[in-house]
Amino acid sequence: MTTKTLTNSLYDWVDERLGLSELAAFARHKTVPVHSQSFWYYWGGISLFLFLVQCFTGVLLLVYYRPGAEAYESVRQITFVMHFGWLIRSAHAWSANLMIFAILVHMFSVYFMKAYRKPREFGWLSGMALLGIASVFGFSGYLLPMDELSYFATKVGLEIPAAIPWLGSAVANMLRGGPEVGEFTVQRFFALHVVVLPALFLPLLAFHLWLVQRHGNAAPPSVEALPPSERKSMPFMPNFLRKDLAMWLISLNILALLASVFPWSLGKQFDSLAPAPIGIHPEWYFMSPFEMLKLLGMIKFLQGEPGEIAGILLFTLGIGLWILIPFYDIKKESGQRARAAHYFGLLAVFALLATTVIGYWTIR
C-alpha cells in the first residue's frame, strides 16, 4: 500500500464514524460578504484569539500561583524568581486588556452594522453575556496579585453592589468573604476566576460561535439593500480563514511587543492600614462608569447616596436598553426606529469616550 492509499483509507475510516466530509462540505460552502466594512469582521476572531491566549497563559500562571495568605508572595516569585515569569504574567495582563478592547470594538461594529436584527438576536444576547463575564474576569483577576492597587480597586469596586438598596451589604459581604477585603476575598475571587467564570464562559462562547456558523456574517443594511447580483462574497476556506489567521498573527505580535517592552508592574504588598496611593484610578474599561458616578454626585440635589443610587439606576437602564436593542430596532427598512437606534449608539460611544477622557484628565 502506498502512503496515499493508506491516508485515504484512514480518512475513510474516521469519516464513516465522525462525518468529516459533511463538515468539509459545510466549510467549502461557507462564504463571507465582501464590502467596504468587511474589516470589522475580524474583531470577533481577534477577541477569540486573545481569549485563547488568556486560557494558555492563565494555566501557566496557575502552575505557581497560590491564593490566600501567600498570594502576593507567589506573584512576587512568578515575577522575579521564575525564569520568564514576568513575561507570562505581563502577557496575561496585556492580553486581558486587549481582549476587552477587541470585544468592545466587535460589539460596536455589530451594533452599527445592525447585525443584531432577526435572526441574530441570540448572537447579540450571548455576546453581551460574554462581555459581562469578561468584565467580571477582569475585576476578579485584578485582585489576585494582592498588591496595593488591586486591594483598593476591589475595595472600591465592591462598593457598587453594596449600594444596591436593602440587599447591598449582604451581597458585598458574600463576595468579599467578610466585612473587609483580605485573604478570604482573594481565595473566593480565585475560585471565581479560574473555575466558575470559565465554566460559564466556555459553553456560552461555543453557543455564540455556533450561531455565527448557523447564520453567517451579517452584511450592513446598505449592502443588504443591493440586488443579489451586486453583492460580493469570498469563500471562508481558505480565503477568509487565511486573513483571519493573519490578524491573529498581528495580534500576537502586538501582544508580544507590549508584554515585553512594557512589563506589567507589581506594586507593594497590600497593607490594610496604609492610605490609598495618590492618583489611584480604575482600569480604563471601568473608568467611564466610575466617572459618570462622580459627575452625577456633583449635581447639587444628587450629592451623596442619592447620587450613587441615581447613577446605578441610570446604568442599569442604559445597559438594559442596549441589551434589548434587537427587540426595538426590528424593521429591515431604514425608518424612525433604525435611526433612533443609530443615534442611541452614537450617544453611548460619545458618553463612554467623553467620561473616560474626563476621568483620566482629572486624576490627581
Partner 1 sequence: MNEETILPNQALEPETPGEQATRRAFLVAAGAAGLCYTAALAYPIYRYLASPEEMALSATAVTEVTLKDAQKLPLGSVLMFKFGTAPAMLIHHEDGRWIAMTAVCTHLGCTVQYEPQADRIHCACHGGVYNPYTGANVSGPPPKPLKLFKVTPGEAGVEISRA
Examine residue 238 and say whether the peptide bond preceding it is cis (omega within 30 degrees of 0): yes
Measured between alpha carbons, how far is 126 from 130 in angstroms, rounded to an integer? Answer: 6
Q: Which one of 38-46, 67-75, 79-87, 281-289 is the stretch in contact with partner 1 (CB under 8 A)? A: 79-87
> Which residues, 207 to 236, sit near partner 1 by CB under 8 A?
228-229, 231-235
Of 5 and 229, nearer to partner 1 (C-beta) is 229
Which of 34, 156, 302, 319: binder of partner 1 (CB under 8 A)? Answer: 34
Measured between alpha carbons, how far is 219 from 215 in angstroms, rounded to an integer? Answer: 11
Could you say whether residue 82 binds partner 1 (CB under 8 A)?
A: yes
Q: Which one of 81-89, 187-195, 265-273, 354-362 is the stretch in contact with partner 1 (CB under 8 A)? A: 81-89
Q: How far is the CB of 35 from partner 1 (least distance, A)?
A: 12
Q: How far is the CB of 134 from partner 1 (least distance, A)?
A: 24
Which of 4, 17, 36, 83: binder of partner 1 (CB under 8 A)? Answer: 83
Closest to 351 in 3D by CA, of 309, 303, 316, 315: 315
Pattern of binders to partner 1 over 323-362, x per CB under 8 A?
Answer: ----------------------------------------
Could you say whether residue 55 binds partner 1 (CB under 8 A)?
A: no
Which of 20, 62, 69, 81: binder of partner 1 (CB under 8 A)? Answer: 81
Q: How far is the CB of 234 from partner 1 (least distance, A)?
A: 5
Q: How far is the CB of 88 from partner 1 (least distance, A)?
A: 6
Could you say whether residue 37 binds partner 1 (CB under 8 A)?
A: no
Residues that bind partner 1 (rule: CB under 8 A) add up to a total of 20
Burial class (CB in 10 A: 0-12, 13-18, 19+), 279: exposed
Burial class (CB in 10 A: 0-12, 13-18, 19+), 162: middle
Helix (H) or strand (E) holding 23: helix 20-29
Of 229 and 336, nearer to partner 1 (C-beta) is 229
Which of 84, 262, 328, 350: binder of partner 1 (CB under 8 A)? Answer: 84
Write the CA distances from 48 to 192, 196, 202, 203, 206, integer angstroms: 21, 19, 11, 14, 11
Q: How far is the CB of 170 from partner 1 (least distance, A)?
A: 42
Of 35 and 342, nearer to partner 1 (C-beta) is 35
Measured between alpha carbons, how far is 233 from 71 in angstroms, rounded to an integer? Answer: 51
Long-range CB contacts (< 8 A, 24+ apart) of 184-189?
A: 185/143, 185/154, 186/67, 186/68, 186/71, 186/143, 186/144, 186/146, 187/67, 187/68, 189/140, 189/143, 189/144, 189/154
Q: How far is the CB of 31 from partner 1 (least distance, A)?
A: 7
Q: Which one of 78-86, 142-150, 159-167, 283-291 is the stretch in contact with partner 1 (CB under 8 A)? A: 78-86
Measured between alpha carbons, how far is 341 from 269 in angstroms, rounded to an integer? Answer: 47
Give the distance, in angstroms, between the CA of residue 269 and the centroid of all CA atoms in the same chain.
Answer: 28
Q: How far is the CB of 263 from partner 1 (least distance, A)?
A: 13
Residue identified by cell 492563565 is 58
Measured between alpha carbons, how far is 29 from 18 in angstroms, rounded to an integer? Answer: 19
Measured between alpha carbons, how far is 184 from 179 in angstroms, rounded to an integer? Answer: 10
Task: Indicate left, alpha or beta for 186 from its phi (over 0: left) and psi (-120 to 50: alpha).
Answer: alpha
Pattern of binders to partner 1 over 234-253, x per CB under 8 A?
Answer: xx--xx--------------
Measured between alpha carbons, how far is 237 from 254 in angstroms, rounded to an integer? Answer: 26
Pattern of binders to partner 1 over 85-114, x per CB under 8 A?
Answer: x-xx--------------------------
Contact residues: partner 1, CB under 8 A: 31, 34, 60, 63, 81-85, 87-88, 228-229, 231-235, 238-239
